[in-house]
Amino acid sequence: MHETIIDRIRQTEHGFKHIIEAGDKILTNQDIQHVDLAIQYLADDSYQVRMLAVYLLGKLSPTHPKALSILESRVADDPNWRVQEMLAKAFDYYCTSRGYEESLPVIKKWLSDPHPNIKRAVTEGLRIWTGRPYFKEHPLRAIALISSNKSDNSEYLRKSVGNALHDISKKHPEAVSEELATWDLTDKKTAFTYKLAKRK
């Protein structure tokens, strides 16, 4: 059954729906070790199969610490942007399942990770931050967490930071403006993020 699923995934180039459907089907089979299978899929040449691996790990992460650890330690180096998008979705699933306030220690840990793709998974995965439980009631907390990476060396991450703040500014313009007013715009990296966050 799994080989049929994998072959079908390899032949589909766009979207996430087929990945999610395949992952959910695999997870219904209790006769296999899902974490081990996901690890096997992470080594596949096909980015679609690696996306499936990340989806599986995301679904398993709330109850399997090993799955969360693998997401943090193994996926960030994947060169395919689609895999990184799935990592963001997987992290948000973890937070949704555990609760955003309860997930704050892990959110902070990932946001301070040396790898920009791990930090981006948080910033991107939780968008729109103030539409999520806990952060909806604590927008300043969301703004502060996101802004911690405003000057990161990774432009890929800084784009996510700027866009996430811009999202929040639509409902909380004063709060975002107050944060942006504290930034040192003589720093080119910070100025780059500022322009994205401040745009109309």
Domains and CATH numbers, the chain: 1-83 (1.10.1240.70), 99-200 (1.25.40.290)
- Sorting pLDDT into bands at 50, 70 and 90, what band is 8? confident
Phi, psi of 93 (to 5 degrees): -60, -40
- Sorting pLDDT into bands at 50, 70 and 90, what band is 2? low
Q: Could you tell me the pTM of the whole model?
A: 0.93
Answer yes or no: is pLDDT of 1 > 60: no
**CA separation, residue 68 to residues 107, 110, 140, 185 (Å):** 12, 11, 27, 36
**CA separation, residue 58 to residues 1, 18, 75 (Å):** 22, 16, 11
pLDDT digits (tens, 9 = 90+) for 140-175: 999 999 999 999 999 999 999 999 999 999 999 999
pLDDT digits (tens, 9 = 90+) for 24-82: 999 998 888 999 999 999 999 999 999 999 999 999 999 999 999 999 999 999 999 99
The mean per-residue pLDDT over the stretch 171-196 comes to 98
| Secondary-structure breakdown of the chain: helix, strand, coil percentages, each rounded to the nearest 5 | 70, 0, 30
Half-sphere exposure (Cβ direction) of 109: Cα atoms closer than 13 Å: 10
The mean per-residue pLDDT over the stretch 106-122 comes to 98
pLDDT computed for residue 17 by the predictor = 86
pLDDT digits (tens, 9 = 90+) for 55-67: 999 999 999 999 9
